[in-house]
Structures are given as structure tokens and as C-alpha cells.
């Protein structure tokens, strides 16, 4: 591993110690959650080559799953998190089987429609989701040591570590996947599907597998989000979340492992930096301009551009 990577990792691992401003720590936690989201989207977009614009749906399903199970049925938040991984995974399987018969723009629109339907259900199915009023008061994660009463994780530092661990696990899962046969099959499918299928790679099987893992990961991010912000409402299905994810992956560098993480950190920190230095009228306008400029100068993404410039491995 390069020196730069080691330095970055040490900094991240010890963050709560030297990031003394809770607002900055909050930003890092949100960056971590989005990193998991970006990694999940990158699996489909960067490696399998399929642009899913409905990923906010899996994020939202995960958030709602754990919220409803912990609030209505009194489940432990950790079990809720597991459900937040499993349920979107199932949804990913269902959507994958239907959607992955299509390619290109058709796939994109199908995923948008799926997200749209899920969003409308969350707003209108009042009995299940409480509709637009949302689900406030979601219990925080807690550490249960046998013999002692459960210790709720209320400090930001504790949450930061949970998010960091999940992000690290997601990264490792992605890395193992990419370096395995599955990863190679996905890349083969992305580069030339007809050729790949002609040598016996079952396109549908591998793509659906990627969809399931990707959805499950997005759901995990949703579960973390629910227990951190402790309030879930239909706004989690807003298209802006999907757009943000896509920005992070593509601007960060799709098809790379570090790209989504770098993208997540930069594009979570950027709006906050803009919020601090400009007034609210200019914040998003400048954000849009920065985004466009980034893409004009680094069309393949930040990480690939940096790699070329500095010849990092």
C-alpha cells in the first residue's frame, strides 16, 4: 500500500481524536454513509457497466426497514440493521431479474420508475410508513454486553466508528468481489457482453448477483442513516440522493475502488465548505459549477486523473 493511503487510513481511524468540532465529525459520518452508498452504486455502474438511477430506493427501503422494525416491533437495532441489509437485497434480486433483461437507457429508466413507485408508496401508504409525517424517534444503536444493561451509542465518536467499520467492510467486500472470478466476469460483460456470453459467462446470473450485493450495501447505508439521524421520512427517496450518489461515483472515478470513497468525501465536504464561505443563495449554484468544471477537466473522474498525474499505483 502506498504511503499516501497509509497516512489517509491512520487519519481516518483516529478522526474522533483530532476532529474536535462535532459539526465536522457529523460531516465525516455523513461522508462515510455516502461512501458505502457510492461503493454500492459503483459495483453496478463502474464494474458491471449498468447505470442504476434508482439506488435511493434501496437506501430508503433499508432505512424504513430498520425504522419500522425497531419502532413497531421493538427489535434490537442491530437486527434492524441486518434487516436493512437483507430486505433491499431481496428487492435488488427482484428488480435485477426484471430489469437486467434490458440494457442501456432502458435499464436506467426502469430503475428510475422503480424508485418512483417506492417513493409514492412511502408517501401514500400511511398505515405502514406514516406517510409524509415520517418516523421520528428511531432508537440509536446500542452495545449490549451480556450481564450489563445495553449502552446506547449516543456520542458522535461511537457512531463514527460504526460507520467507519461498515465502510471498511464494504470496501473489502467490493475488493474481494472485484478480484475474484465474479469481478472478472462483470468486467468482461461490461466491455463486451456478446463476447463474454459466447465464452460461457451467464450475463444475467452475474449481473443479478451484482445487483443483490449492491442493493444490500445501499440498504446497510440506509440502516446506518436511520439510526444516526433517528428520523426517516419519504424524503430519503428524493431523486437528489440518487443524483448525489452518481456524482460521487462518476466524479470520483467509476470502475476504481478508491474513486467512490474519494468522491463521497469530496462531495459531502464541498457543500458544507460552500455553506461556510458563501451565503445560501450561492451555495448550490457554485456546487453545480464546481461539478461541471471537475468533469470538464477530469472526465474519467478524480482518482484516475490523479493516478495519471502522479503515477500512483
Partner 1 sequence: MARMRTLTAAILLAFLASPGLGQQPEPVKIGVIQPLSGPVAASGNYVRMGAEIARDWINARGGVLGRPVQLLIEDNKSDPKEAATAAEKLIVRDKVPVIMGAWGSSMTLAVMPKLEEYGVPMVVETSSAASITKRGNPWVFRISPPSEMEALGLEKYLKDLGIKKADFLAVNTDWGRGAVTAFGDLLKRSGAGVGAAEFMDQAATDMSAQLTKIRADNGDTLFLTTSVEQITLVLKQAQEQRVARKIITTGGSSSPTQLIKQAGGAAEGTYHILFFLPWFPEAMPDGKLAKAFVDEWNKRGFPFEGLTEGFRGHDGILTAAEAVKLAGKPDPKAVREALWKVSLMGVNGPIKFEKDGPAGKESGQSKPSIFIVQIKDGKIALPAFAAKK
Partner 2 sequence: MEALLQHLLNGLLLGGTYALLGIGLTLVFGLMNVVNFAHGEFYTLGAYATFAALAAASVHFFLAIPLAIVIGALAGAACDRVLLRPLRGESIDTTMLVMIGLWIAMQNAELLVWGGVAKSVPTPFSTQPVVLGPLSVSPLRIFVFGVSALLILGAHLVLSRTKLGRAMRATFQDRETAALMGVSIDRIHMVTFAFGAGLAAAAGALLGPVFLVYPSMGDLAALKAFSVVILGGLGNFVGAALGGLVLGVAEELGAGYISSGYRDAVGFVMIVAMLVFRPSGLFARAERVG
Question: In angstroms, what is the minimal distance from the CB of 270 to partner 2?
Answer: 12
The site partner of 151 among partner 1, partner 2, none (C-beta below 5 to 8 Å per kind) is none
d(CA 110, CA 99): 7
Residue with smaller CB distance to partner 2, 126 or 169? 126
The vertex-105 CA angle with 103 and 111, nearest 5°, equals 85
**If binding is defined by CB under 8 A, does position 307 make contact with partner 2?**
no
**If binding is defined by CB under 8 A, does position 247 make contact with partner 2?**
yes
Question: In angstroms, what is the minimal distance from the CB of 49 to partner 2?
Answer: 9
Output 197-200 pairs: Cβ under 8 A, ≥24 positions apart.
none
Q: List the interface residues with partner 2, window 124-153 (CB under 8 A).
A: 124
Helix or strand run (H / E) with residue 136 = strand 135-136
Helix-, strand-, coil-residue percentages of the chain, each rounded to 5 = 80, 5, 20
Query: Is 168 exposed, middle or buried, given 0-12, 13-18 or 19+ CB atoms closer than 10 A?
Result: middle
**If binding is defined by CB under 8 A, does position 55 make contact with partner 2?**
no
Question: In angstroms, what is the minimal distance from the CB of 230 to partner 1?
Answer: 5
Question: In angstroms, what is the minimal distance from the CB of 260 to partner 1?
Answer: 19
d(CA 222, CA 163): 11
Residue with smaller CB distance to partner 2, 211 or 251? 251
**If binding is defined by CB under 8 A, does position 200 make contact with partner 2?**
no
d(CA 32, CA 85): 17
**If binding is defined by CB under 8 A, does position 23 make contact with partner 2?**
no
Asked if 310 and 263 touch (Cβ cutoff 8 Å), the reply is no
Q: Which residues bind partner 2 (CB under 8 A)?
A: 45, 51, 98-99, 101-106, 108-110, 112-114, 116-117, 120-121, 123-124, 239, 243, 246-247, 250-251, 254, 281-282, 284-285, 287-289, 291-292, 295-296, 299-300
Amino acid at each position: 500500500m502506498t504511503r499516501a493511503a497509509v497516512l489517509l487510513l491512520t487519519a481516518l481511524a483516529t478522526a474522533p481524536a483530532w476532529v474536535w468540532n462535532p459539526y465536522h465529525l457529523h460531516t465525516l459520518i455523513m461522508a462515510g454513509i455516502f461512501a458505502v452508498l457510492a461503493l454500492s452504486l459503483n459495483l453496478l455502474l463502474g464494474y458491471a457497466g449498468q447505470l442504476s438511477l434508482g439506488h435511493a430506493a434501496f437506501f430508503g427501503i433499508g432505512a424504513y426497514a430498520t425504522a419500522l422494525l425497531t419502532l413497531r416491533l421493538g427489535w434490537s437495532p442491530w437486527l434492524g440493521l441486518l434487516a436493512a441489509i437483507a430486505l433491499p437485497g431481496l428487492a435488488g434480486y427482484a428488480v435485477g431479474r426484471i430489469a437486467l433483461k434490458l440494457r442501456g437507457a432502458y435499464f436506467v429508466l426502469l430503475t428510475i420508475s422503480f424508485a418512483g413507485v417506492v417513493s409514492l408508496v412511502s408517501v401514500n401508504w400511511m398505515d405502514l410508513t406514516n406517510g409524509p409525517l415520517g418516523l421520528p424517534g428511531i432508537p440509536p444503536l446500542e452495545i449490549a454486553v451480556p450481564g450489563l444493561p445495553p449502552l446506547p451509542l449516543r456520542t458522535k465518536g461511537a457512531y463514527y466508528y460504526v460507520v467507519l467499520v461498515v465502510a471498511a467492510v464494504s470496501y473489502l467486500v467490493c475488493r474481494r468481489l472485484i478480484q475474484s472470478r465474479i469481478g472478472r466476469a462483470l468486467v468482461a460483460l461490461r466491455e463486451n457482453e456478446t463476447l463474454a456470453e459466447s465464452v460461457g459467462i451467464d450475463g444475467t446470473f452475474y449481473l443479478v448477483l451484482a445487483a443483490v450485493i449492491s442493493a444490500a450495501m445501499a440498504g446497510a447505508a440506509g440502516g446506518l442513516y436511520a439510526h444516526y439521524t433517528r428520523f426517516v421520512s419519504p424524503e430519503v427517496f428524493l431523486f437528489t440522493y440518487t443524483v448525489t450518489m452518481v456524482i460521487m461515483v462518476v466524479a470520483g472515478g467509476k470502475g476504481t475502488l478508491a474513486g467512490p470513497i474519494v468522491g463521497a468525501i469530496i462531495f459531502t465536504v464541498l457543500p458544507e465548505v460552500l455553506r461556510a464561505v458563501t451565503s445560501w443563495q450561492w451555495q448550490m449554484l457554485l456546487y453545480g459549477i464546481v461539478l461541471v468544471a471537475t468533469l470538464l477537466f477530469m472526465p474519467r473522474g478524480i482518482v484516475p486523473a490523479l493516478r495519471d498525474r502522479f503515477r500512483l499505483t
